Every structure is written in C-alpha cells, then in structure tokens.
Structure 1
C-alpha cells in the first residue's frame, strides 16, 4: 500500500507539472492573441481598473514605508517593460514640480521649444520634437500625453496602452504570477506609458510634470534630466506632503539631481531656504529667476491669461534657455527674452486655466473656466476674473458661480477669495454640484474617478448653499442651488438663460475635475 501511494503521488506530480506548463503556454498564447482588435474604450476601462480608492490613498498618506517603496517598485515596473531608468536620459528631460502653475509652466516650455525654429531658415531641419506629460486631464485621458503639442489619438493611445499592458501581463505569467495580476496604479501606469511613448516616438525633449510632491513621485525615477524647475509653492496635498510650507518644499526639492541645474521663481522665504539646501545637498546648481514684467517681455500677450502667468513664463524661459544651450549649443546674449521664444509664448494654449470663451450655440453666455483648487490659486482666479469682467459692470449683466471642491478643502474660505475680491461683482446665483459629470446613461469612462468619494446626500453641497448668504456682501442678495451632477448644474443655467434677456457671465472654479466636466457637458474642445 505504501509503495502504491508513492507511485500515485509521483504520477500526480508529473501530470500537475505538465498541466501548469500547458496552462502557462495557453495563457501566454491568449495574451498575445488579445493584441488584435483592441478598442480605446477597452484601454480606458483597463486604466480605470487601476485606480486606487479613497481608503487606499488615505493609507498611503499615513505610511512612511509606502513612500520608501514607491520608487523601487516603479523601477521594477520599468524593468518589466524592458527599460532601465537611465534609458530615459536620452529623452533630455525637463522635470517640473510646484504647487501652482507647474502645468502652465510645462505648457509654456513645450510651446517655446516646439516653435523655436519657426522664424529661422533651418526650421524644417532643426525642428524640436516635443513630448509633454501632464496631469490631471480635463475631458479625455489622452490629454496627459502629447506629441508636438497634440494629444495622442485614440488609435495611438490604444496601441501604446496595450503594448505596456501586454508586456506586464506576459511578465507576470513568465514569473508564475498570473493569478496576482500585478500592475501599477493609475498614475504610475500612465507615467510608465508616457515614458514608453516618448521612447518609441524618439522625441528630442520630454517635459514631465510631477504628479504630487516630487521626492516619492512616480516621475522621480528620472536619473539625469537636463534641468529641473519649481513653480510657485503653497499649501496643498497636506495628507501626503505635510501641513507646513517647509515640509512641502522638501518634497518638491526631491527632484533635484547632482550637477543638474535647478531653477525656481520667487518663493516664501522658508520654502526658498529648504529648496536651496536640498539643491546644495545633492550638488545641484541652484538659481532663482526674477519675474518678468509685461514691459520686460516686450509687451507681448502671453497666450495664457492672468498676471500670474508672468511668473510661469519667467520660469519657462529660463528652463528653455538652459535646454537649448545644452542640446542645441545656442548661446544667448544678455537679452531677457530671446526673440525666438516669442512665438511659443504667444501661441501657447492650456485649457481650463484662466480660460474665457463664448460658444456659438449659446452667444449670450460668456464662460470663465479656471481649475483653481487651493486658497492661493483661488486668489489668483479672483484677480483674473475681476480684471476680465471689470469692463462690464453694468447691472444688465447676470453672473452665476458654479463651484465644487473636495470635501477635505475649506470650500467657504475658497469662495470668499472670489466674493470678497471686488464687492461690486455680484453673483445672482451660485450652483453647487458634485464632480460627477453626467447622469448614468451618459457616462464617460475618461471622467471616472474612483479616488473621490461622493456623498449621495449632497451634504457638502447643501452646507455651502446654506452658508452662501454669509459669504457675499450684506448688501447683495443671491440664490443658491444644489445639483447632483455637473450636467444638472449646466442644464439649469442653459434653461435659465432661455428665459432671461440679460447677458450672462458664468464662473466655473474650485476643481479641475469640475472644469473638465463642464467642458465635457458643453462639448468644448480641449
């Protein structure tokens, strides 16, 4: 009996071994066969499946161990795609962090470099091929990865998405991890995909915007960028970066690298000192650039609205100057703004930030869109909006505020920045809604965000509506409305305007997700 059991176990082990080999083979074959007939919708669905929920994000914010594992894990995922981080040195990267304006700075850098040779005879032969990685997106996730100023097409996104997806699947199978489905989270994945796209497309420069912080951010696997930039710092993402400006500055300065120029604009003194020390600790040449005035820019009109863009333009100009000196061997004179930079400064576009537009379908309405989401950025939004509407202060104009922010921010204080900026600017209505864009039957997968927890009872929106009368001057009266979706809030405005003979100005602010949702509802091109 003992001998029989021994032989029977050998028999089972033999067949089990070849069963699993056959299973691995068939799974590998299945993955390879899936590469055909993929759709953009499937790519977005796959990407959304990688989103972390709010509970996981909260645990990350409290875990130092999670931070310490972040970059080693990101490097492992790189290797599974066939890259080593030093491979990305060939992308001649410009790495940008900050609290406010880092996206605008990246957009300015990209536009300056892409248009640099437009006024030169050698423009066709020396044209700079640009790659731009930013976040978040407004309407379509494809906005996050741009080539030569244009976001990836649905076909391009699908192709590159599944090249990365399948390599990770194959790697898991080859390592015997097919049941674990080991993949990076949403932001890590799209970061890896951006590196992959830029490598495959052989861009001359990759402009990479940091997601959150810098020290532990997924983009910080970069080893040898050409130059690093820090835009304006302020208080934001305290759960992940700390409650004070010096702690936040420490994280931002984490992108500095040895012997790589580090450039910033004027900062709060304590933040500047932290950045300077972080640069010194890694032997990074550190520079603070002066902010240009409109006059020192030659009175040109920057393509992005608002006085605050002078800071972002000043930083972008210096980042481009350093890049061109190193990679195009162009030596600039002492002129503050090279003439070749002007086309890029004037042609730059960056949707959803200090954006004013009138749609042909709704000629009575002027839309003011700004994704301000911190107290400091809301102050900037207030300055911009006040300047934009000051020319039309007559009582025949009706104004409507559309607002939402995440519940962990002080919505009342953010709104005060707008309502107290100019007491003569009167909002007749305030619409408070969630960041859910459409009703269920019009769901758009690109706008799915599992990291935001929505209160179905709308308690946060109701609270804002209740305190709205205390946030406006006592001499004014205004109606507050609460809506479950962005679409409901916008539809109310459109219906209201049909019944009104007055011209209407609508300010949408408090969240980039809100602005993106409004653009989706109104079918505004990014």
Structure 2
C-alpha cells in the first residue's frame, strides 16, 4: 500500500494556493464521498484565534473521563500528520489514514482542491466509519468559509478568544475577524463564548440572535478565574473549586473555563470538570522538554517549548513566564513571514534578556533569522542569529548556564523541534 506521506505529497499539488477560502470544493468532494459529514457523531465545533487546541484538549479529557469515545480533528500537526485525526481517542493508524486519503484522492478526480480541504474530507470519512459519542472539530482558519464548516447541525459551537491574526484572509479589524469566526454559529445550536474584546463579543451576539442560537457568555453566564492557586468556576448551576489546569500559563484558566462551560452544556458535572483540567495533554504549549539532544545541549538550563505566534500568543507566553519562579530567560525564536513579528515580541521585551533568531527549517514562508532578530531589537530585546535551534541552545548554555530557555514563535518551529529532539 502507498504510504500516507506519499499520498499527502501528491495532494499538496492539487491547488496552486495553500489557502483559498471557499466551501464549494468541500461540498463537491463530500457529495462524491456520499456525505460522510452527515453521519459522524455529534459535533462540538471550535473556532477562535487563540486557545482552540488547549480548549479542545480539555473538553476531550473531560468527555473521555466520563467513558465517552471521542473523535478529534486539529491542525496543524507537530511531528506527524496522524496527530490531526483521533479516532475514538487514538491517533489514526497508518493504514486507516492512507486508505481514507486514497479514497478522497479518487473521489476528487484530479480537480482543484486545497490540501486542508481534501485532508479534512478524509477526516470526515474516517470519523464516519468508527463509532464514537462525540466529534471535536477545530476550525483551521476563520470559520465561515473554513473546510470544517460543513456540518449543518452541530451539538455545540465554541468560540475561544478572538484577536488580530490572519488579516490577509479574515479582514483588518476585530469586528471583521469576529464575523468570520462567528460563521460557525448555526440556527438554534448553543454557543459557548470565551472572554472577548467588546467589539468581537458584539458581533458574536448579533449573529447568535439572528439565528436564535442560545448563548453562554463568559463573565455573564459563567466565569472562571484563579484564586489561591485553584480554579474557581461558577455558573447558574453553582460554584466549583477545582485544581489548577495542568497546562501551564495564566491563560489556561480561561481556556479551562470555556471547556468546563462546554461540558456543563453537554450535561456533565464536577468529575468531568476535574478531569478536563488535570488530564489534558497538549504539546508545544509551554511544554517542558525533559530529554533529547536539545536538553543535553542545554546542560543546566531549563528548556521550554511553545508554538504561540501572534500578539495574543506573545502576551500569554509573557504572562506564563512572569508567573514562573524568577530565572534569567532567553528566547530561541523562529517565525513565519505572514505574522506580526514585533507584535508577538513586544510583550516579551520586559522578560527576555536575549533572543537568538533562527529560520524554520524546510518552511518556505519562514522569516529569515536576520529579520526576526531585527524585529526583536526594534522592541528592545538584545538579539543575535544562529543556524538552528541546537546551535542556539549550545551558545546560550555556554554563556548563561542555569538560565531558562524558551524555543518559541511558531508551531512549525515547535514541530521541527519535537521531531528532531525525539
């Protein structure tokens, strides 16, 4: 049988653009496949700028603790494509992935379709053939025209915090971007809304009202916050005093609140809420690296990895670092040329003593290391360049033994690090 990598390589050439937002090609291929999206288990659809993956991971942990079988779809992957598709809790097998991809390739018949669209169709096909209780669908980009937005009646919609990102596709302003994210709201389907800027929240509320979709809005219908190192959550059903999220960072308290609000809407209680915050796993989100060549090169340094890549992600990383025990902090950073690089770095200026810039290996849209370094200098961070993360790590460990080092700036860089570091 042809390997999934070989098929994925072929699928990348079916459309001249990586991103071309439209639902026409999805409707065409799904019809050719017999509409698998109509027979998958009840869908929890998750959109937003930041926190989608963490929120999904926590919802999944809560559902699985209740004994539920859960499909999950997420993107991008870090080390291997299989991470994008979980069937009843397990990463899709090589044989199941290759079979689904080949079937979608045949159904498409060589017509133009983006890589994300045809691989999303493969996920729907795989989900339709394995029994489960729920399907967690993470939006790839935006919402309204995202390839996942073909399910007419999800069980629940979830919108995580919205901020400025992907302006070349979603619009220049927060209301425009919120309008795209709110495109996942369906008539009569409940919506969990994380804390939002007022202008984004207004757009979501207008869309929900037009579609008679019941809203459960943060700080109005439910709330979650840190108190004495614990997570306090309350809504109309009562108050819960819970352990803190196992995923590090102050921002994970609001992601946990969003996940718990979703679980409560689905009818689950305190046991599932505790599991959501204590059992969730989500790599490359302030992940401590404990082994591998990079850790060996780090010596006495403490090594962390994070894939956040926009200004809100930079703020979350800065808040997480600020909440850690005091330790000199140095960054190894690689970013894409489509991102607001200075906006990402600005919140880190008061925390990082230096930044070593690298290009992202094998990534055509990488920002050259010199430009990443220049952006760091422009916001007040001393910067240098290195050929790769390993050499950057060796230089930092030599000059600053015992420091805290964070590799950051892109999920693509994080994926490269996880692959190469074992």
TM over 0.5: yes
TM value normalised by structure 1: 0.72
Note the 1:204-283 alignment, pairs <5 A. 204-283=133-212
- Say whether the 8 Å CA contact 1:359–1:365 is kept in structure 2: no
**Partner Cα distance (1:271, 1:468) in 2:** 29
For structure 1, the 5+ residue unaligned runs are: 1-36, 61-66, 117-126, 173-180, 326-331, 394-398, 438-448
Structure-2 residue corresponding to 1:453: 365
**Partner Cα distance (1:52, 1:105) in 2:** 33
Structure-2 residue corresponding to 1:426: 353
| 1:90-134, Cα deviation, whole Å (9 max, x unpaired) | 510000100110111111111110112xxxxxxxxxx31110001
Note the 1:33-52 alignment, pairs <5 A. 37-50=1-14, 52=16
Query: Structure 1 residue aligned with 2:327, among 379, 392, 407?
Result: 392
**Per the alignment, in what secondary structure is the counterpart of residue 218 of structure 1?**
coil
Alpha-carbon offset, residue 84 of structure 1: 6.1
**Per the alignment, in what secondary structure is the counterpart of residue 381 of structure 1?**
helix
Aligned residues: 404
Alpha-carbon offset, residue 412 of structure 1: 2.6
Structure-1 residue corresponding to 2:421: 522
Pair 1:480-2:377 in alignment: no
Pair 1:105-2:55 in alignment: yes
**Per the alignment, in what secondary structure is the counterpart of residue 306 of structure 1?**
coil
TM value normalised by structure 2: 0.88
Structure-2 residue corresponding to 1:77: 29
Query: Structure 2 residue aligned with 1:471, among 372, 379, 387?
Result: 379
**Partner Cα distance (1:318, 1:253) in 2:** 18
Note the 1:99-498 alignment, pairs <5 A. 99-116=49-66, 127-168=67-108, 172=109, 181-289=110-218, 290-293=222-225, 294-296=230-232, 298-323=241-266, 325=267, 338-359=270-291, 362=296, 364-388=300-324, 390-392=325-327, 399-420=329-350, 422=351, 425-427=352-354, 430-437=355-362, 452-454=364-366, 458=368, 461-466=369-374, 468-472=376-380, 478=382, 480-483=384-387, 488-494=388-394, 497=397
| Aligned-residue RMSD, C-alpha | 2.4
| 1:429-463, Cα deviation, whole Å (9 max, x unpaired) | x32122225xxxxxxxxxxx5xx4357xx3xx323
Alpha-carbon offset, residue 80 of structure 1: 0.9
- Say whether the 8 Å CA contact 2:140–2:148 is kept in structure 1: yes
For structure 2, the 5+ residue unaligned runs are: 233-239
Greater Cα shift, 296-305 or 255-264: 296-305
| 1:451-492, Cα deviation, whole Å (9 max, x unpaired) | x4357xx3xx3233346445337xxxx551143xxxx33234
